[in-house]
Chains A and B, each alone.
Chain A
Amino acid sequence: MTLAAPGVPTGAPGAYRTEPLATTPGLGGLYARGAASSGTIAARRVLPGETPEPALPAVALRVEDVPTGPEVAARLAAYQRLVGERVGDALPAGFLHVLAFPVATALMVRGDFPLPLLGMVHVANAVTLARPVALGQLLTVDAWAQDLRPHRRGVTVDLVTEVRADGEGAYRGVSTYLARGVSLEATGTDGAEGTAGAHDAQEPAGSRPGFVPPLPTGRWRLPAGTGRAYAAVSGDRNPIHLSALSAKAFGFPRAVAHGMYTAARALAEVGTARGAAYDWTVRFAHPVLLPGTVDVAITPAADGAGDGHEYVGWDAWRARRHFAGTVVPR
């Protein structure tokens, strides 16, 4: 995971060319294209001799003049209510992630993106909000992929999104995805198709034995509709989040909460201590099955150094970690 550099934006790697998109694409169509291209990629990988070493497209997609006017206000308020943010004109970092996510997804469904969209598991996210962003500002969103690297279960890749608000660098998000069963060597025939990230396919952080939950500071009772509610405000209608039935099709026993919903809720619950600009990280472990109860500890960072907070969420009955992260003011 590449941590955000102090300066935002950093811009895409030098060799990348910028490719403009007219508008922010719709996620629904992207998932359909992603499903199709995932099939193509899978087919390519089982045909010996046709699997070139995977390489990332040296392209940064850019959408300019993304409006955040009245058309976004109601959605922002719904997002803020859902994750527990103070309802107002400020766009929390999680909402900027939501706005930038379709651009990153558009990159992942391109024909030259080497990994299948369906089956990729979001394992970590690191965000820097360098300056506050408010309703009414015009946004420019850049998205590119970088740092394709081996992982013991496959490969991971960072999808980087950067947001300028009225021309000023404001936000940088690095979403790390794991594609299981994909190898950087061009063997291509290991056959371990990464279906949709069934729950044993997560980042090892949470399954590491010896996780001892701290004393909780809160308890989240997440109703069955949590995934649908976050889908409505985020636009991320990945079927694993929507219903038990659609989740089962991808190997989950029940619907799964969006990881970014849990991280955004933790960010909101840190409260005003995070300041107007902050760094916000999360690592996802075991998925949160819905309906479900998550115990959380959101506490001032243990080292007592800065005024940051750390958070962790877990299944109290099984002492399994769902996610952990930090929120540190800048």
Chain B
Amino acid sequence: MATTPEPASSRSEDAGASGGAAGVPRTRDAVIVGGNRIPFARAGGKYAAASNQDMFTAALEGLVARFGLQGERLGEVVGGAVLKHSRDFNLVRESVLGSSLSPQTPAYDLQQACATGLEAVVSVANKIRLGQVESGIAGGADTVSDAPIAVSEGLRRVLLEASHARSTKARVAAFAKLRPRDLAPLSPSTDEPRTGLSMGEHQAITTARWGITREAQDAVALASHRNLAAAWDSGFFDDLVTPFRGLTRDQNLRPDSSAEKLASLRPVFGARLEGTEPSMTAGNSTPLTDGASAVLLASRAWAAERHLPVLARVVDAETAAVDYVHGHEGLLMAPAHAVPRLLARHGLGLGDFDLYEIHEAFASTVLTTLAAWEDADYCREELGLDGPLGSIDRDRLNVNGSSVAAGHPFAATGGRIVATAAKLAAARAAETGRTARALVSVCAAGGLGVAAIIESAAPGTEA
């Protein structure tokens, strides 16, 4: 970022405080100490018998071991799972109780579809910034292999009625309403409840609307695999991942993937869209995956007292939601709205970043988001800007791979991305001697999206 001036938000660090830009209240810093995750496994793979709690506890324990947090009472642990059984109402608290953290560490569950992990990071960071807690862990876990199976609506109503019945006769009457079709179990689906379209079909519509080509999507997918493989090979994940159940690397990673192999795959989404060429394949879409991640955040003082490293600080975040139900906007386009709002609050341009971490729900999600920011009409009409938000240097995008290669265990993705971005920003700052800034965005079901700014923040920058 040699050509970029020192950011406004760093100029006002006289009290070691975040903020200072117009409209951003000044608070103390919430810093990212480090992260830990387990390798992500393909659905039905190595973690087929592991529960969300097993995986999140493993991610927590790895983090505890890495930073010597045994017996430590943290401010709180926040996380969640998207596919969660109702009996796991306290998934995160139960995981804490199963870890070596002090049992006096509070916890709560949070759920915002694929943005769960990033929203958890934002929530913990905000409490640290306000002085309500000194430390916290944010993360998430998801398993599609061990997903809860629900009973049908018919059986559910009969069981509820029977449980409320006061006499045997009434209970019998309730069960008499049961029909054979009511006994079929319901698996969780990735269909949007309000539209009945799967996430892939939704993105296929957005892909068609933006005219994103198959070649461009395959190129993003290929880069994801190559970048993630290179990062593993270089040892980047050595202090970010703890092996679990015999898995030492992300199972979905295909270092030998090639443009030819990707081009040979059959499209799986958008086949029924009239007048468009289907382009989304299993190769340029994110596979269903199992995994968990956790990120340790703290106040600068808390980290310094324990001689813990400080990689970066959470500068700010913005969550957006879009009107996708009647097709006004694409389901996964909320980050396109969140980012310009976040940038405006800090007087930043899209080009003012050293690193971009745009979650690859599908390769085309990244491309439709970038295309939207380059489109003058869209930026004026949908985002309320004067012109295009701009372009990014693609060499700074998902430089260590993203979800197409790593996989995407929904609630675990935010923690993966934040830990990666923080470590990358710290390394970039160490290399250049200047503050390095990363833009993170994660799209989510329900037309949701979260964007965050993360800046390198070596311990020395504290006033």
Contacts and interface: CB of A to CB of B under 8 A. Distances in A.
Interface string A267-301: 00111000000000000000000000001011110
A220 B275 CA distance: 21
B44 interface: no
B276 to A, nearest CB: 8
A219 B208 CA distance: 17
Contact of B201 (A219, A220, A225, A299): A219
A309 B326 contact: yes
Given A219-B197, A299-B326, 12 more contacts: A215-B208, A215-B273, A216-B205, A218-B194, A221-B196, A225-B181, A269-B325, A270-B326, A297-B327, A299-B327, A300-B326, A319-B274
B307 interface: no
Contact of B327 (A215, A219, A225, A316): A215
A217 B326 contact: yes
A299 B208 CA distance: 17
B73 interface: no
B195 A218 contact: yes
Interface of B: 181, 191, 194-197, 201, 205, 208-209, 272-275, 325-328
Contacts of B194: 218, 269
Instruction: Give the one of B194, B195, B205 with max A CB within 10 A.
Output: B195
B200 to A, nearest CB: 12
Given A217-B195, A219-B195, A219-B201, A300 B273 contact: no
Nearest to B204: A215
A214 B195 CA distance: 15
A221 B191 CA distance: 11
B238 to A, nearest CB: 45
Given A215-B205, A295-B272, A300 B328 contact: yes
A22 interface: no
A310 B272 CA distance: 21
A316 B328 CA distance: 20
A295 B197 CA distance: 9
B368 to A, nearest CB: 14
A326 to B, nearest CB: 13
Nearest to A300: B326
Nearest to A295: B272
A307 to B, nearest CB: 12
A271 B275 contact: no
B272 A220 contact: no
A270 B181 CA distance: 30
Contacts of A220: 196
18 contacts: A212-B275, A213-B274, A215-B209, A215-B273, A215-B327, A216-B197, A216-B201, A216-B205, A217-B195, A217-B327, A218-B196, A218-B197, A219-B195, A219-B196, A219-B201, A221-B196, A297-B327, A317-B272
Contacts of A215: 205, 208-209, 273, 327
Contacts of A217: 195, 197, 325-327
Interface in A225-270: 225, 269-270
Nearest to B196: A219
- Output the residue of A215, A270, A297, A298 with the most chain B CB within 10 A: A215
B274 A212 contact: yes
What is the interface of chain B mostly: helix, strand, loop, or mixed? loop
A196 B194 CA distance: 34
Interface of A: 212-221, 225, 269-271, 295, 297-300, 309, 316-317, 319
Contacts of B201: 216, 219
Nearest to A317: B272
A250 to B, nearest CB: 24
A216 B274 CA distance: 10
A219 B195 CA distance: 6
B358 to A, nearest CB: 24
A58 to B, nearest CB: 44
Contacts of B191: 219
Contacts of A299: 326-327
Contacts of A295: 272
Contacts of B275: 212
A213 B201 CA distance: 15
B272 A316 contact: yes
Contacts of A225: 181
Nearest to B209: A215
A202 to B, nearest CB: 21
B333 to A, nearest CB: 14
Nearest to B273: A215
Contacts of B181: 225
A103 to B, nearest CB: 30
* Most chain B beta-carbon neighbours within 10 Å: one of A219, A298, A309, A319: A219
Contacts of B273: 215-216
B361 to A, nearest CB: 19
A209 B197 CA distance: 27
Contacts of A297: 327
Nearest to B208: A215
Nearest to A294: B196
A141 B111 CA distance: 48
A201 B352 CA distance: 64
3 tightest Cβ-Cβ pairs between the two chains A and B:
A316-B272, A217-B327, A218-B195
Contacts of B197: 216-219
A319 B274 CA distance: 8
A59 to B, nearest CB: 41
A289 to B, nearest CB: 17
Nearest to B195: A218
Given A213-B274, A218-B197, A316-B272, A271 B325 contact: yes
Contacts of B327: 215-217, 297, 299
B208 to A, nearest CB: 7
Nearest to B328: A300
A317 B271 CA distance: 9
A221 B192 CA distance: 13
A242 B332 CA distance: 39
A231 to B, nearest CB: 14
A205 B19 CA distance: 61
A212 B275 CA distance: 8
Nearest to A297: B327
A270 B327 CA distance: 12
B204 to A, nearest CB: 9
Contacts of B326: 217, 270, 298-300, 309
Contacts of B325: 217, 269, 271
B268 to A, nearest CB: 15
